[in-house]
Amino acid sequence: MDNTMPILLVPGLAGSPRIYAPVIAALWRYGPVTVANHVRDDNMALIGRRILAEAPPRFALAGHSMGGYIAFEIMRQAPDRVAKLALINSQARPDTPEASARRRGQIARARAGEFHAVLDELFPGFVHPSRRGDAALRQVVHDIGEDIGAEAFARQQTAVIGRADSRPTLAVIRCPTLVLTSDEDHTIPNSLSVEMADGIPGAKLIITADCGHLPQLEQPQATSDALVEWLRS
């Protein structure tokens, strides 16, 4: 394959490289795959700047959930370095006051030793309703959370609270863009992904069936197929 390109994957909140493990095998044929480290800073501008400092000169960029917020920040800082963009179960809107208050409560609890309890409470909103009793999937979510730990979770939540409204910049995105969402995402409703797709010129919208907020884990084949099509376009 001649036209390979570096691929940069950004996980979401409480996410580690493990979230992308089920799809990487399908992607690496199209270029070297890197998973960005997004746990070291507590604001989006610094996260984006550090990721860009470590990234290839030009790359295909995919961000899941909070990773999508980071992808928007990368697009603000260095749009010419992003050849293709994929926004997975994400949104362009800023935090609401209610969401910020909930996040601050989760930060306090995580720092007080209740990080696993917070993950347990997030889990039902992370997955399709049919998977809320899936103990193995719940364990994977805990394992991924353990990869980053409570302090990194607190930094991430702080960055998410302070993120910019990306809706005004959607229209200036010019690279080929995939907006991937799910039929039953109860963390970021797919109406917000539809809003993104409508705002980005030429964006392709795919809604994955029988899936919640974690498509890489819940529907890895459908997610792989969508990302491969995006890379080949």
66-82 pLDDT, tens per residue? 999 999 999 999 999 99
Domain tally, the chain: 1
* Cα(197)–Cα(209) distance, integer angstroms: 18
- Give me the pLDDT at residue 19, please: 97
- Give me the pLDDT at residue 2, please: 55
Provide DSSP, 6-62: -EEEE--TT--GGGGHHHHHHHGGGS-EEE----S-SSHHHHHHHHHHHS-SSEEEE
- Give me the pLDDT at residue 24, please: 97
Per-residue pLDDT reduced to its tens digit, 96-129: 999 999 999 999 999 999 999 999 999 999 999 9
For the cut 60, the answer to whether the pLDDT of residue 1 exceeds it is no
Domain of residue 82 covers 1-233
- Give me the pLDDT at residue 233, please: 87
For the cut 70, the answer to whether the pLDDT of residue 14 exceeds it is yes
- 45: domain CATH number is 3.40.50.1820
pTM: 0.97
